[in-house]
Amino acid sequence: MLSNIEHQSVCEVRDLGLIDYTAAYGIQKECVARVLAGGAQVLFLCEHPAVITLGRLAQEANILDLEAISRQGIRVVPIDRGGDVTLHAPGQLVVYSILNLAQSNRDLRLYMHKLEQVTIALLKSFGIVANRISGKTGVFVGTDKLVSLGIGVRKWVTYHGLGINVNTDLKLFDLVKPCGLDVRMTSMARIKGEAVEMDEVKKRLVEYFRKEFNLVL
């Protein structure tokens, strides 16, 4: 009979701090290659300087103010994840999970559901009641969107992940149509009425990730 540890999956946690989006993407690609070669899975935590990324389904019409984007020096980067237009900025916790689904199950829908569940549990721990909305990816508070998801998969190894608006400048979202949706974005800080300690969010996020995915971190 297998012990509990053998049912679990080993994963490292790396905090990249505030890092350029393209640099973080390069680190992800290197890590995916290592996992495919048998190396350790990794959970990356980071923030990015303001950047707009375009997923495989992105439509040009969902970039609303190119002039303002250019004036503010915000880069627009096409990327190989699912989904539409997403904005990253300081104050948003970005989580890149490099996991080997072939070790557990090969169910991308379940994987996305688990990512959402991690953030729902995280937000609940801060007294924020979050929910899913049928037919829409991500996590919402009422009808306002707080968590965005977009993943990539190579031979069942996942990359990209999710963005949680902790203390994000929400005015930046006026530049795009987030995820192609007519939706208002919100943040933990807006809901709580004060800035939220990012280090505490990271700490709790890692714990809920460990529980949901049965990881040894």
Q: Which residues pair with 169 in a beta bridge?
A: none
Cα–Cα distances in angstroms (integers) from residue 71 to residues 49, 66, 74, 86, 97, in the given order: 15, 8, 8, 19, 33
**List 11, 31, 46, 179, catalytic entry:** 179
Q: What is the SS3 assignment for 79?
A: coil
**What is the C-alpha separation between 210 and 116, in angstroms, rounded?**
14
Check if 46 is active-site.
Answer: no
Cβ neighbours of residue 3 closer than 8 Å, sequence gap 6 or more = none
Side-by-side strand order, sheet with 215-216: 131-133, 136-141, 144-154, 157-165, 92-98, 41-47, 9-18, 215-216
Residues involved in catalysis = 179
